[in-house]
Chains A and B, each alone.
Chain A
Amino acid sequence: MLHYIDLTKVWTLLEFDKYNPLGFSSSLFLFLFFGLLLLVTVINNNRAKVYILIAFSLYFFYKSSGTALYVLVISAVLNYGIGYLLYGAGRESLKKVYLWGGILANLGALGYYKYTNFFLETMSSFRGGTFEAIDIIMPLGISFFTFKALSYLFDIYYETYTPSKNFGDFFLYMVYFGNIAAGPIDRAPAFIEQIRENRITNEDISRGVFLIMSGLIKKNIIADYIGLNYVDRIFDDPLRYTGVENLIGVYGYALQIYCDFSGYTDMALGISLLLGFKLMENFNYPYKAKSVAEFWRRWHMSLSSWLLEYLFTPMQMGMRRMKMMGNALALLITFTICGLWHGPSWNFVIWGGLHGFFMVFGLITSKPRAALLAKLKLTDTKIAGFLKTIITFHFVAFAWIFFRAKDFKIIEDMYGQIVNFFKPGVFPQFIQSYQMITAMMVIGYLFHFLPEKVSESGYKLVEKSPLLVKSAMLAFMIWFAWQFMAADLQPFIYFQF
């Protein structure tokens, strides 16, 4: 049988290929993952499991980043060392030296691999010269593992965490494949404790299977379909479409990025549950938020809580004499950095800055807005809640244009078409010619805005089923998602960060 298999082809398939990372919904990943699951179950030894997971994670990383693997390994070793020194340093002044050394080393590496070309391009555009990009391979998920490492150092510095003495445990925390590519940005205390516990309940298995299925629906069916067949076309050339089509494109992208990123996270959470790890929650129906601040408590929660804990609060404490101004300044700085974290482009910086501005605006107007609602006798009413949700959604959705558009011309064109060439009469035609897109968007938003118990009842159905039925459900969903996939697999939007 074996001689029928072309080993060179197998080798090519397994080799580093930056255009073919091991996405969670790729057939190669699923094949290898079930092998991994089988292996750790059969061996059934916690220490062996740690090393098997490390080996698998290093391979996962190598598959998309090749030799840049050394960056991750050095980062893990270096941060473990700095953590060790930081914990042992008695004097505050010495601790500060170690902490700042750690911050500079981590941000230095992140800056070099992710922002060098952006920096050079910006400099050359100021000088008016030509710019040639330097060929730097960006290690997979460098923004994510850098923030994981920094949170580890901060927790030791704030004395809220006693570092693990076991290097293997910390190494797994840093390299774990389940959250390396696009988060969640887990924290060392919770993750490392789970390595030691090594407990998988029946509920974890049910929840894991449910989350993988939900991730496949969100990512491979909804996000990819509306992205490839509608949103991309609008964002490629907005002038070819009316304002109403552009507006639907904006709503479409808001749904696409949510389904893409939260679908990816669902799969990461599900896969990890099957291996005995509960990763951090990352999404909680973000478009249900009644303010932009609340949106950030529901969207990419592992990043927003990181920024709150390690950046915003220390800055705010330092500027507390400035009272509201201090808050406003800390918000603007935090969200501009949040934007830059997403990618080396001014679009992201403006997108982050816009969110900071929305929140400062919300902060300054909170009292007059509350007074107005009280005057209209609308305080805490359903109608006020509904209006707040609609307004917040539009602030967020229109800011996404900056996130998605490839240049400022596209942004200008989209806003221009929506304002000057709306043509609402096109709407019925849109529904008629884009039935599938309409259906996907209605289903996507409906599931998002329906009460959470609807999704919970889906989970209950999985939970009640015997293991064999669960496996069949999962196999069916994988098959179904593959049927749906367009010719090319869409990369996870968040992979590039």
Chain B
Amino acid sequence: MISDKLKNAILKELKLDDFKIEDETKANQIPGWDSLNHINVITAIEKDYGLRFKAIEVLKCKNIGDLQKLVDSKQNK
């Protein structure tokens, strides 16, 4: 399940009103999330949650579900 907080962070950065984001959704399926915008979305999420990812952790994510798990694991530390 993608949390509202993560979803809103993504939508706000990409200036989207709404978009259905599920565990299996891939970044490039979300309008505006392209290769150049990628770092802006990642830094926006880091800022919203007040945490910092390692590059390898983000590179391992196959979809938004993996990103959610990453955020959760970082928060629980």
Interaction A to B: yes
Count class of interface residues, chain A: 10 to 19
| Contact indicator B42/A158 (Cβ below 8 Å) | no
A312 and chain B: residue at smallest CB distance: B35
Residues of B contacting A308 in the complex (Cβ-Cβ under 8 angstroms): 35
Residues of B contacting A317 in the complex (Cβ-Cβ under 8 angstroms): 39, 42, 55, 58-59
A159 to B58, CA, bound (A): 12
A326 to B37, CA, bound (A): 12
Residues of B contacting A293 in the complex (Cβ-Cβ under 8 angstroms): 36
Given contacts A320-B42, A320-B43, contact A313 B35 (CB under 8 A): yes
| Contact indicator B36/A318 (Cβ below 8 Å) | no
Counting CB contacts under 8 A, is A314 at the interface?
Answer: yes
Count class of interface residues, chain B: 10 to 19
Residues of B contacting A363 in the complex (Cβ-Cβ under 8 angstroms): 36
| Contact indicator B36/A313 (Cβ below 8 Å) | no
Counting CB contacts under 8 A, is A316 at the interface?
Answer: yes
| Contact indicator B59/A316 (Cβ below 8 Å) | no
Residues of B contacting A314 in the complex (Cβ-Cβ under 8 angstroms): 55, 59
Please provide the chain A residues from 308 to 357 with a CB less than 8 Å away from any CB of chain B in the complex: 308, 312-314, 316-318, 320, 323, 326-327
Partner of A327, one of B36, B56, B60: B36
Given contacts A308-B35, A327-B36, A363-B36, contact A313 B43 (CB under 8 A): no
| B41, chain A: closest CB distance, angstroms | 10
| B15, chain A: closest CB distance, angstroms | 12
A321 and chain B: residue at smallest CB distance: B43
Per-position binary interface string of chain A over residues 138-180, scored 1 when its CB falls under 8 Å from any chain B CB and 0 otherwise = 0000000000000000000011100000000000000000000
**Majority secondary structure, B binding face:** helix
Residues of A contacting B55 in the complex (Cβ-Cβ under 8 angstroms): 314, 317-318
| B23, chain A: closest CB distance, angstroms | 16
| A152, chain B: closest CB distance, angstroms | 16
A363 to B36, CA, bound (A): 8
| Contact indicator B59/A327 (Cβ below 8 Å) | no
Counting CB contacts under 8 A, is B5 at the interface?
Answer: no
Residues of A contacting B35 in the complex (Cβ-Cβ under 8 angstroms): 308, 312-313, 316
| A490, chain B: closest CB distance, angstroms | 35
| A407, chain B: closest CB distance, angstroms | 34
B36 and chain A: residue at smallest CB distance: A327
| Contact indicator A160/B62 (Cβ below 8 Å) | yes
Counting CB contacts under 8 A, is B12 at the interface?
Answer: no
| Contact indicator A313/B38 (Cβ below 8 Å) | yes
Residues of A contacting B58 in the complex (Cβ-Cβ under 8 angstroms): 317
Residues of A contacting B62 in the complex (Cβ-Cβ under 8 angstroms): 160
| Contact indicator A313/B59 (Cβ below 8 Å) | yes
| Contact indicator B60/A159 (Cβ below 8 Å) | yes
A318 to B56, CA, bound (A): 9
Per-position binary interface string of chain B over residues 41-56, scored 1 when its CB falls under 8 Å from any chain A CB and 0 otherwise = 0110000000000011
A317 and chain B: residue at smallest CB distance: B55
A326 to B38, CA, bound (A): 12
Residues of B contacting A313 in the complex (Cβ-Cβ under 8 angstroms): 35, 38, 59
| Contact indicator B39/A320 (Cβ below 8 Å) | yes
| A235, chain B: closest CB distance, angstroms | 33
Q: In this complex, which of A313, A314, A320, A323 has the most chain B Cβ atoms within 10 angstroms of its Cβ?
A: A320
Residues of B contacting A320 in the complex (Cβ-Cβ under 8 angstroms): 39, 42-43
Per-position binary interface string of chain B over residues 15-46, scored 1 when its CB falls under 8 Å from any chain A CB and 0 otherwise = 00000000000000000000110111011000
Residues of A contacting B38 in the complex (Cβ-Cβ under 8 angstroms): 313, 316
B57 and chain A: residue at smallest CB distance: A317
A33 to B42, CA, bound (A): 49
A316 to B42, CA, bound (A): 11
| B14, chain A: closest CB distance, angstroms | 15
| A321, chain B: closest CB distance, angstroms | 8
B43 and chain A: residue at smallest CB distance: A320
A315 and chain B: residue at smallest CB distance: B55
| B53, chain A: closest CB distance, angstroms | 8
| Contact indicator B36/A160 (Cβ below 8 Å) | no
Q: In this complex, which of A159, A312, A314, A317 has the most chain B Cβ atoms within 10 angstroms of its Cβ?
A: A317
| Contact indicator A326/B36 (Cβ below 8 Å) | no
Residues of A contacting B39 in the complex (Cβ-Cβ under 8 angstroms): 316-317, 320, 323, 326-327
Residues of B contacting A312 in the complex (Cβ-Cβ under 8 angstroms): 35
A205 to B42, CA, bound (A): 44
B60 and chain A: residue at smallest CB distance: A158
B35 and chain A: residue at smallest CB distance: A308
A308 to B43, CA, bound (A): 19
A147 to B14, CA, bound (A): 33
Please provide the chain A residues from 178 to 223 with a CB less than 8 Å away from any CB of chain B in the complex: none
By Cβ-Cβ distance, the 4 closest A-B pairs, closest first, are A317-B55, A320-B39, A158-B60, A318-B55
What are 17 pairs between A and B in contact, CB < 8 Å?
A158-B56, A158-B59, A159-B60, A160-B60, A293-B36, A308-B35, A313-B35, A313-B38, A317-B39, A317-B55, A317-B59, A318-B55, A320-B39, A320-B43, A327-B36, A327-B39, A363-B36
**Residues of chain A at the chain B interface (Cβ within 8 Å):** 158-160, 293, 308, 312-314, 316-318, 320, 323, 326-327, 363
Q: A160-B60, A320-B39, A320-B43 are in contact. List 9 more A-B contacts (CB 8 A).
A: A160-B62, A293-B36, A308-B35, A316-B35, A317-B59, A318-B55, A323-B39, A326-B39, A327-B36
